[in-house]
């Protein structure tokens, strides 16, 4: 597989979607074949699962929540991510398996080994070449959000556990991650992210 797989992670309102757009536009202008995608979602089935997961009217138990994210991920990997990587594209994915570790593991309290096993199954063992973690205080991220869904409307301590969870994942796999202070302006976050992508591409 000759493509490059980049994931962008962080708490709610960290600026993942904004950065994904800026990075992909820059790389496309540079002539690269870039596929932009996001979890949960990516195709009709995964988009349908996303609606179920984020609808505040649905009372979803923690195990069902995890399994729905993993089902959407399996579909996304097979139908979107792997085909793009196989043809040599750069895939930029807004959230991936680290989101399940941070949200369903560190925040909801599901055993991390179980999540690793399910992540592995859903992704066929696919790991990002680079993961950019946008880190910022939860109060700032939540203040940036304009709309709340079933998960983002959880209490502040839930979001604090997610932030801490991400930082623990980074400590366990430092070579895969670049952590960027996302409280800075969009331009500065983009500059640092682009630097990380360029250095990973030329390795």
- CA distances (Å), origin 138, targets 12, 143, 156, 175, 188: 8, 8, 8, 25, 19
Contact positions toward ligand T5A, by CB under 6 A?
Answer: 10, 12-18, 39-40, 54, 69, 95, 99-100, 103-104, 144-145, 151-152, 182, 185-186, 189
Pick 187 or 203: Cβ nearer ligand T5A: 187
88 Rama sector, left if φ>0, alpha if ψ -120 to 50, beta otherwise:
left
Pick 75 or 99: Cβ nearer ligand T5A: 99
The full length of the chain comes to 203
Name the minimum Å distance from CB 151 to ligand T5A: 4
Name the minimum Å distance from CB 169 to ligand T5A: 13
**Shortest Cβ contact with ligand T5A: which residue?**
15
Pick 93 or 130: Cβ nearer ligand T5A: 93
Pick 95 or 161: Cβ nearer ligand T5A: 95
Burial of 167 (0-12, 13-18, 19+ CB in 10 A): middle
Q: Which residues contact 153 (CB under 8 A, 6 or more apart)?
A: 56
């Amino acid at each position: 597989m000759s493509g490059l797989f980049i994931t962008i992670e962080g708490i709610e309102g960290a600026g993942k979607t904004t950065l994904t757009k800026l990075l992909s536009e820059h790389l496309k202008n540079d002539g690269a074949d870039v596929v932009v995608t996001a979890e949960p979602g990516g195709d009709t089935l995964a988009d349908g699962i996303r609606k179920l997961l984020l609808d505040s009217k649905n009372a979803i138990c923690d195990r069902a929540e995890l399994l729905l994210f993993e089902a959407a991920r399996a579909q996304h990997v097979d139908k979107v991510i792997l085909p793009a990587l196989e043809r040599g594209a750069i895939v930029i994915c807004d959230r991936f398996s680290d989101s399940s570790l941070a949200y369903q593991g560190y925040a909801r309290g599901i055993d991390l080994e179980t999540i690793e096993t399910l992540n592995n199954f859903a992704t066929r063992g696919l790991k990002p070449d680079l993961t950019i973690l946008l880190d910022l205080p939860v109060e700032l991220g939540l203040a940036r959000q304009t709309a709340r869904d079933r998960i983002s409307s959880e209490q502040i301590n839930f979001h604090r556990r997610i932030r801490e969870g991400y930082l623990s994942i980074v400590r366990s796999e430092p070579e895969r991650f670049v952590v960027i202070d996302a409280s800075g302006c969009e331009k500065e976050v983009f500059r640092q992210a682009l630097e990380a992508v360029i250095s990973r591409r030329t390795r």
